[in-house]
Structure 1
Amino acid sequence: MLVMPAQLVCPRCEQDWVRPYRFKADGTSFLLCTECDSLWWPDEAVAVARAHFLDDVVAARLGVEGNPWSDRVWADVIEPAPDFRR
């Protein structure tokens, strides 16, 4: 298994680093750029064409329509995953 590189620039916005996170509910890991909210699953290449939008993924996982943040904040749903491995 490969360890996530320490510094990977977001290919979508080029404004921040892609960092490992996980969903608090079940521990599912993913990579996230907190500047543009682009998300990648561990088995995906970190590329513009493969990026998902965090809001869409969270809304789908929670089964809500539209903005999933109307009654919650990131810390309710996701957290950094320092032990992430690809």
Structure 2
Amino acid sequence: MSAPPICPRCDQDQIQRYRFKDDGVVFSLCTECDSFWWPQTATDVANALFLDDVVAARLGEVENPWTNRIWADVIEPASGTG
């Protein structure tokens, strides 16, 4: 098994699989710079989104989605998911 790729945006951390707790949708995330990729997109800089923007959109919020919640309320590691 090969190591997860290094984030192309920050070159600081590995890209890991996470999932949204509410519906189990899996995505890739760099926890160093919060770069986010949907599974159907290549994990490159051009396709990178920011976790805050995706979570805010999913929750229907315009401002910072972390004002009244923490990551563990919304996402979790997706270890062992297909």
Give the TM bin, normalised by the shorter chain. Answer: over 0.9
Q: 1: distance between equivalents of 2:75 and 2:4? A: 20
1:22 partner SS: strand
Runs of 5+ unmatched residues, structure 2: none
Shift of the alpha carbon at 1:65?
A: 1.1
Q: Which has the higher contact order (CA 8 A, sep 6+)?
A: 1
TM-score (ref. length: structure 2): 0.94
Question: Hey, what does 2:12 align to over in structure 1?
Answer: 15
Q: 1: distance between equivalents of 2:3 and 2:81? A: 11
TM-score (ref. length: structure 1): 0.90
Runs of 5+ unmatched residues, structure 1: none
Instruction: Please identify runs of 4+ aligned residues in structure 1 that moved more than 4 A.
Output: none
